[in-house]
Amino acid sequence: MFLRGSRAVRRQWRICQGLNRTVESQVRVSLARGFQSTRNLQVVKPVLLADIGEGIVECEIIQWFVEPNARVEEFSPLCEVQSDKASVEITSRFSGVVKKLYYEAGEMAKVGKPFVDIDIQGGASQEDLNTLTAPEPATEGTSEPLNRNSLSQPPQEQSSGDKKSTSPTQDEPTPQSSPVKKGKHASLATPAVRHLSKELNIDITEIDGTGKDGRVLKEDIYKFVERRNSPTQPAQQPTSPFPGAATPPDTDKQVETTVQLTNTQHQMFKTMTRSLSIPHFLYADEVDFSRLHELRRRLNKTAAQSATGGEATKLTYLPFIIKAVSVALYQYPIINARVDVDEQTSRPALVHRSQHNIGVAMDTPSGLLVPVIRNVGARSVAGVAAELARLQAAAAVGRLSPQDLSGGTVTVSNIGNVGGSYVSPVIVDSQVAILGIGRVRAVPAFDEQDRVVKRHVCHFSWSADHRVVDGATMARAGDVVRRLVEEPDSMILHLR
């Protein structure tokens, strides 16, 4: 009996030992999982900078709309970036709390790399956020490595605020309200203004903006430079074309200053370098604008009397020219094609394109840009004019999207709007032709009865890729455009 009892006790003791080992191993596994729960759950989501098209690999952070510990919703704007061609607003993919900004305003962000961290558990407490995202125990430690100062408060204000907290004077905190507004709205300046401030080596947050909502304008920068240089510069300094440039010293040595290219200039450098591989040939012709001048005058008079919100109230020559080019492309589709070289066989081929997406070269505050009017063949002259007005307005404020700047098949460059009668335009590498337009000027000419009459004439200059377009084809296509512009009433027959 006692033997059986001792065996039962030993059996129970072995079972208890086995249970203890099982429980101990489970506790170890659970503890290990608990310490790594942040990584497995992936509460903090790094947001990658998406590809915004045209092979862009990096872009400049123009301004942030959020700051660390700020609550964001899905599709709410996070920041504005400036690529080689345009500025784009980046929106949030998640709803939650911003944990980390990888870049400061003005720095270059890499496409495909994280630029902000968002905690998708937006309702978590601050203690939980610190435990999940940062090893530092301090509350400010989560944002210090990335945003050392609050976006709503410039660095000068924080340092001065710390000093004034120890001062017995009580009347000095009142002037601190103006820098807060100034630093906040200075970041809303357009890319052209920000580039100007960088070229002149000026901190834009130090400038009092006079634009809407405190935005900094170019005039504000020029006035700031004038005040800064007033002790050493003469009074007539602002009359210079570059008010921020210092007067060079009178010396015998040549002084060279290195200035980095802007994003737009860098893109133009790469594009024109690729264009060097294209053998150009130039074809020029004189076009009589007299009838188009009269038709445009009558249409503008009618449009002024019955203008609607969706149409351009004033027509220029350019919409008629763009429409005439589209009509010529139907007869000579090779002008609308592009050259494609097979990477394996190195055999070239022509790729014909159905839509006429005509790019228009524009002189903008940030430099030369070529926005695209899509599917011109399906638009009327008024429709072309309305889209052209939209692109011009967006380009003036730096709000062109990547879609506005991509997909062109032929380019029109109106150099006459700036000045000059003749031009030799350069072909873009994805196209085979470009049209340069000189200024319209009044000249004396002979009519059919040999009488001297007043004519409005303009010179058209075509550049074509001589690898695939021969001179006769370009001359015939250019002649179609010339006849349509000289007889604008016949353009009605080609409207779709």
C-alpha closest to that of 131 among 238, 44, 245? 44
C-alpha closest to that of 102 among 89, 92, 91, 117? 117
Which residues are tagged catalytic?
Answer: 466, 470
The crossing angle, in degrees rounded to 10, of helices 218-229 and 191-199 is: 20
Provide the pairing of β-strand 87-91 with 358-364. unpaired
Output phi, psi for 445, to 5 deg. Answer: -150, 165
CB distance 359 to 411 below 8 Å: yes
Q: Which residues pair with 46 in a beta bridge?
A: 117
C-alpha closest to that of 77 among 188, 203, 1? 188
Token pair, residue 277, equals: 């591989």
Exposure on the CB side of residue 209, measured as CA atoms within 13 A: 25
- Residue 15: CB atoms within 10 A of its CB come to 10
DSSP string over 196-213? HHHHTT--GGGS---SGG
Cα(68)–Cα(150) distance, rounded to whole angstroms? 8
CB distance 495 to 330 below 8 Å: no
